[in-house]
Structure 1
Amino acid sequence: MKGFHLLLNSVLASVDSARVISQDGPEGQAGYPDARTQPDQSGLCLASLDTSLTIQQANQEFFRQFDGSSEELCGRSFRDVVHPSVRQPLMRQFSHLIEGKHQRFVTPVIAVGADDSPFTVPLTAVSVRGGLPDTTAILVMMPATRGAEGARVVAGRKKILSEMDARILEGIAAGVSTIPLASRLYLSRQGVEYHVTCLLRKLKVPNRAALVSRAYSMGVLKVGTWPPKVVEDFVK
């Protein structure tokens, strides 16, 4: 782990504060890791990415969290360990980091751990410059949640929706009422209501508002996208 201590020292030298904080929150806000803690004793998953977001190095907590070895995870894209529903907005934040628009960011993400089990976790990413004008690497940190209480698990990437279900769910999430939705999808009003009833049953919710909320919490609808879009992994 000597390499990670050197990487952390580089990060600490490149930021104003040793503690990684949210731009909107106070220093030491609960849920965000202190970068001075020892990597293997702090319960932090740490990984070093290059500017193409390929995993170059990681600590043992990271390997345990994602149930892989160094050979299996190093060389893969960091995109592979996050849920499809959050990839687009997360990649946008990484782009801003690489372009120098931000020095760090903190955001909740849906990661995909062992056995493709998704879970939500706060992720911190810090630009590493090493004395150079441009970003040379990115350090990502997240608390280890494997076996921990409070890790909010979301649905796995099962193909639970038909193509029509997906289009109707997108329409409901966009606030489109039954008659315009029926016209858009060349269905009768009763046809739309039938699909809505099936969706309510599949996601085990009582009404349309709860349906949309549940779909976002499960990762079925993409985060940060308008108009709403269903993640393709969930469509049969």
Structure 2
Amino acid sequence: MSLSGDTVMSALLDETDFAEGFRSLFEQSGIGIANLDTRMRLREANADFLREVDREPQDAYGRSFPALLHRSVRQRVEHGLTELIAGRRERFVERVLAVRPDGTLVPAGMTAVAVPAVASPDGPGEIDTVLVLLHAKPRGGEPPAAAPARVALQPMDARILEGVAAGIPTVKLASSLFMSRGGVEYRVTALLRMLRVPNRPALVSKAHSIGMFDTAVWPPRVHPEYVKN
């Protein structure tokens, strides 16, 4: 039976012996669990975690955990894990996009907690382990979305997509790009066809879901990997 991420994390951290608690829930929670070292590398992961990232143990162990994520969330995750390891926060929760070897993107909820090596009378010892829970649950029960490897926007189309995502009115967007209103509408229509969506809100949602935007900045910016040189 699958447990919630909070339930699993609480059960693990309530154990007097962390190693015993980790092992007892490792194969039973129905949620991806990974054990990272202080350099954010995978020491061990359960079958649920490996299934979500579609990797064998020999391919995953020793690999940087942020490297398994889409670049749009990688910087935030690295920062959050660094804060945990330094002892500046107790828990880090984030929505992430895991990237499988074939480019498929897997939306997931991530919870990470730093675990001290040995407690002392003066308080917790140095951080030795970061426990990561990865709970992938696609909306509406839909399968993970394939990454649009063939999507490569013209620079002008990327600027228009950014403007639409920022909520800039068409007339103002056209003026800022030295285009006519009709020119902007034409390119927006082409973007709708390219991403196979019916309207502008769906266009922005689809672009976000497949990781086209850098979610760490505002106004939205399309990642260079999605823009033709």
Taking structure 2 as the reference length, the TM-score comes to: 0.75
Q: Which residue of 1 aligns with 2:61?
A: 74
Say whether the 8 Å CA contact 2:105–2:210 is kept in structure 1.
Answer: no
- Distance verdict in 2 for CA 1:64–1:217, change over 3 Å: closer
Of all paired residues, the percent bearing the same amino acid is 43
Offset at residue 145 of structure 1 (A) = 6.7
Residues paired across the two proteins, number = 207
The aligned amino acid for 1:207 is N
5+ residue gaps, structure 1, are: 1-7, 19-33
Aligned match of 2:188 in 188, 196, 209? Answer: 196
Query: What is the alpha-carbon root mean square deviation over aligned residues?
Result: 3.0
Say whether the 8 Å CA contact 2:103–2:149 is kept in structure 1.
Answer: no
Say whether the 8 Å CA contact 1:62–1:144 is kept in structure 2.
Answer: no
Higher mean C-alpha deviation, range 111-120 or range 190-199:
111-120
Could you list the per-position Cα deviations for residues 185-224 of structure 1 after superposition, in whole angstroms to 9, with x for gaps in the alignment? Answer: 3333332222111112222333323322222223222324
5+ residue gaps, structure 2, are: 1-7, 16-20, 119-123
The aligned amino acid for 2:158 is A
Q: Are positions 1:150 and 2:141 aligned together?
A: yes
Instruction: Map 1:1-236 onto structure 2 (within 5 A).
Output: 12=12, 15=13, 17=14, 38-113=25-100, 115-131=102-118, 133-143=125-135, 150=141, 153-160=144-151, 161-236=153-228
Q: Aligned equivalents of 1:172 and 1:226: distance in 2?
A: 13
- Distance verdict in 2 for CA 1:218–1:198, change over 3 Å: same
Higher mean C-alpha deviation, range 165-174 or range 56-65:
56-65
Offset at residue 71 of structure 1 (A) = 2.7
Offset at residue 37 of structure 1 (A) = 5.0
Q: Aligned equivalents of 1:100 and 1:203: distance in 2?
A: 42
Q: Which residue of 2 aligns with 1:22?
A: none
Q: Aligned equivalents of 2:105 and 2:58: distance in 1?
A: 22
